[in-house]
Structure 1
């Protein structure tokens, strides 16, 4: 994983270990989801970024995993709206146009 369980826990505002397995699943799923949205691979991005995984993508992974941790159902009774400069803003500079 590109983000640690400690980073995920902190992003989720969790200070206990009981949910670590679920939080790690959300983190792994967020990594896969974002990589697919980029139309490239993380390996290619790291290569283009002098061997470093971009912090912007780490933030996007943390944001998405924390969102999925908090909102565990596919539907909501509460009206939600997209946050400006959120996940899409973090990953757009790394997207490959196809």
Structure 2
């Protein structure tokens, strides 16, 4: 099954030109897809899956965030899931994101 977000999609989104971290980026893309699937209750890794563009953006944004902050120095400077990704996930679930979330 092909991933809904390709390595080249991830690299373009994250503005990465080198091939040095391709294995890491691929793993982060898979992990981000799995995270978004679990958070939304949708399966985006089947042959018949129709993956909304919002889901693809959430996957790319989350993978890029994890790539950028893979070596945290200050715990308060690192968030697990960025606000814009949480907002997209809430939309994909059919809900709204409360300010306190």
- Of 51, 73, 96, which aligns to 1:53? 51
Matched positions, count:
91
- Aligned equivalent of 1:90: 88
In the alignment, structure 2 segments of 5+ residues that lack a partner are 96-101
Aligned to 2:98: none
User: Which runs of at least 4 in structure 1 moved beyond 2 Å after TM superposition?
Assistant: 39-44, 78-84
Higher relative contact order (CA 8 A, sep 6+): 1
User: In the TM superposition, what whole-angstrom CA distance separates every residue of 1:50-92 from its partner, at most 9, and x where no partner exists?
Assistant: x63100000000000000001014x5416447765x0122122
> What's the TM-score, normalizing by structure 2?
0.73
Q: Give the direction of change, closer, same or farther, for the CA distance of 1:9–1:38 in structure 2 (3 Å limit).
A: same
Alpha-carbon displacement from aligned partner over 1:26-55 (angstroms, at most 9, x marks no partner): 0000000110011232379xx7xxx63100
Alignment of 1:1-98 (within 5 A): 1-42=3-44, 52-73=50-71, 75-77=72-74, 79-80=76-77, 84=83, 86-95=84-93
Quote the RMSD (CA, aligned, Å): 2.8
**TM score, norm. by length of structure 1:** 0.75
